[in-house]
Chain A
Amino acid sequence: MSFAVNLLTRSLNVFHLAGSPCNNCDIEILDVLTPRYDAERFGMVLVGSIRHADVLLLSGAFNKKSAIRAKHVYDQAPKPIVVVAVGNCACTGNIFRTSYNIDPPIGNVIPIDAYIPGCPPKPEAMISALAKLIAKLRGAK
């Protein structure tokens, strides 16, 4: 079944990969899936394996060690996969961009389709971004 048809017929499987995070974005991503925000109603499900993913969420600054692992994970992902950078660290390297142990941004290693800035982005911002992304992928305006 093609990727496009999958998007129209079922929930999106989301795999979250954090690299050298402070964990704030990670916790907020989890919060998005708890009852107060409940992103499942938008058709999103967190999955435990990259091999089942439609969407790859990246969070964290990805230092040299974790960037190598991130590339390995991305290579295992079924293509096409939509990659979303969550938080300023994943978008640009943030306040860590001058570090001797980071070669920002992770976008140089993994092609990114959408950016959600913030430190961390509020859950509302993430839901808004993901709703826009889903609408765009499904061809709606």
Chain B
Amino acid sequence: MAKKTIVPIGPYHPLQEEPEFFKLHVEGEKVVKCDIEIGYNHRGIEKISESKTFEQTVFLVERICGICSTSHPIACVQAIEDAGDVEVPERALYIRSIVGELERIHSHLLWLGLAGHFLGFNTVWMWVWRYREDVLDIMELITGNRNHYAMMKPGGVHRDIKNEDIPAIKKMLDGLHKPLCLFRDAVIDDPVIHARLKGVGVLTKQQIIDFGALGPTARASGVKIDVRRDHPHAAYDLVDWNVIITENGDVFDKAVVRILEMFESVKIVDQCIEKLKTVGGPFDSNPKEIHPGDGIGHYEAPRGEVFHYVRSDGTNRPARHKVRAPSYMNVPTDAVAVLGESIADATIILAAIDPCYCCTERATAYNALTQAHMFTSEDLIRKSREKTEWIKKQVGKEGPKLDLGAL
């Protein structure tokens, strides 16, 4: 593979001019309060859903979030299937998990890149994004698109994964192993990363439980929840894999959980494509109606549990469709996670729960006493990088290094 010099391009602050999403109140260098304002993404999806058929609404919810693009469809079709007592053929279960786990890998790589960007480790993290492209290539091979896969439907999946494509998929999947190991080794044992992220933005187990927080945010604080294991669906109870739990609840642990989860995702996809070789049959039970009733579907998106509730009145449209993304439960924890922390850590703490990409960019800081505007989000990111530079000097090291020769 030809080596390319990666020139960091930036700054990536596409939403810098946006007003506060997270309004930090600051005394000296410490955050004493965090106001959260949302609503900038509210598109009234639940109401739109009532005017769509059950099949159409899956395309609608796919567009709630482009990064968790298949998570909402999986939870949605499961809610519809729960309401209508619809069977799903085994082959479809494997395909659902394959697409879901590939999404988890690309989403966690995206987060890793952003985290590196906020901390100032641009070179390493550009490589993370470069390998994310390879995951999107696998998605394109399987589904026809890099994002918005249009795979899920009530009763199964829209298209099969052809057995003759499996060797190509396996080859691309195997190609991820070395880069993932490199990223893991570069981050998890690096003394600069330890000094920068350990003990930062801690959420306790009790805080997680009180807020109902989810996903890696919860698992990093020792709360052992993962919808894939706890409420088995798709193929998760048909293959072997581990739930990743750590105990410290800091930003470092949240990074570790996401990195190690990617290896488990590769394991799951590997086993699922193996099973597809022998599990034949249909990939869609093609339900003709959803009888009246209530249905609940939930799925472990990269950020945590995605929850859909659907009420069917026997017509072909949902009478009610409730959607709850994991960030809805996780974002409120920011109000406590940043308290007492240094303003230089605010950006990475907010980013640690992995909210929608645009949310993290919109943090600004105000003087707690005078309410004078102090720092824009660009200022906060700059302060974050300055702290990293200071830590590098304290530790006497340069930070994570990639052994590119091994790739």
A interface vs B, CB < 8 Å?
15-31, 33-36, 40, 45-46, 48-50, 61, 63, 65-66, 69, 72-73, 76, 94-96, 98-102, 119-120, 122
The CA of A69 and the CA of B42, in the complex, are separated in Å by 14
Number of interface residues of B (CB under 8 A): 43
Whether a CB of chain A sits under 8 angstroms from the CB of B87 is no
- Please state if A101 and B9 are interface contacts (CB–CB under 8 Å): no
- Please state if B14 and A96 are interface contacts (CB–CB under 8 Å): no
B interface vs A, CB < 8 Å?
4, 6, 9-19, 39-45, 47-48, 51, 59-60, 63-67, 69, 110, 126, 129-130, 133, 146-148, 356-358, 378
Q: Please indicate the chain A residues that have their CB under 8 angstroms from the CB of B42 in the complex.
A: 20, 63, 65, 101
Knowing A27-B357, A46-B12, the reply to whether A34 touches B66 (Cβ < 8 A) is no
CB distance from B398 to the nearest CB of A (A): 22
- Please state if B48 and A96 are interface contacts (CB–CB under 8 Å): yes
The CA of A57 and the CA of B63, in the complex, are separated in Å by 20
SS of B interface (majority): loop
- Please state if A66 and B357 are interface contacts (CB–CB under 8 Å): no
CB distance from A54 to the nearest CB of B (A): 15
Contact of B65 among A22, A33, A76 (CB under 8 A): A22
Q: Please indicate the chain B residues that have their CB under 8 angstroms from the CB of A66 in the complex.
A: 40-41
Sampled A-B contacts (9; CB under 8 Å): A21-B66, A31-B129, A34-B126, A34-B129, A49-B17, A65-B39, A69-B18, A72-B17, A94-B63
The CA of A35 and the CA of B9, in the complex, are separated in Å by 10
- Please state if A18 and B148 are interface contacts (CB–CB under 8 Å): no
- Please state if A120 and B44 are interface contacts (CB–CB under 8 Å): no
Knowing A23-B65, A24-B69, A76-B17, the reply to whether A99 touches B47 (Cβ < 8 A) is yes
The CA of A49 and the CA of B47, in the complex, are separated in Å by 36
The CA of A17 and the CA of B10, in the complex, are separated in Å by 15
Most buried by B among A20, A21, A30, A73: A21
Q: Please indicate the chain B residues that have their CB under 8 angstroms from the CB of A40 in the complex.
A: 9
Given contacts A19-B40, A23-B67, A27-B147, 12 further A-B contacts (CB under 8 A): A18-B15, A20-B43, A21-B358, A22-B64, A23-B358, A24-B63, A27-B66, A28-B146, A30-B12, A63-B42, A73-B17, A120-B147
SS of A interface (majority): mixed
- Please state if A102 and B10 are interface contacts (CB–CB under 8 Å): no
The CA of A99 and the CA of B44, in the complex, are separated in Å by 5
The CA of A31 and the CA of B147, in the complex, are separated in Å by 12
The CA of A48 and the CA of B381, in the complex, are separated in Å by 12
Q: Please indicate the chain A residues that have their CB under 8 angstroms from the CB of B16 in the complex.
A: 48-49
Q: Please indicate the chain A residues that have their CB under 8 angstroms from the CB of B51 in the complex.
A: 98
Residue of A at shortest CB range from B67?
A23
CB distance from A27 to the nearest CB of B (A): 6
CB distance from B14 to the nearest CB of A (A): 4
Most buried by A among B39, B41, B59: B41
Q: Please indicate the chain B residues that have their CB under 8 angstroms from the CB of A17 in the complex.
A: 14-15, 17
Residue of B at shortest CB range from A38?
B9
- Please state if B18 and A24 are interface contacts (CB–CB under 8 Å): no
Q: Please indicate the chain A residues that have their CB under 8 angstroms from the CB of B10 in the complex.
A: 46
Q: Please indicate the chain B residues that have their CB under 8 angstroms from the CB of A61 in the complex.
A: 43
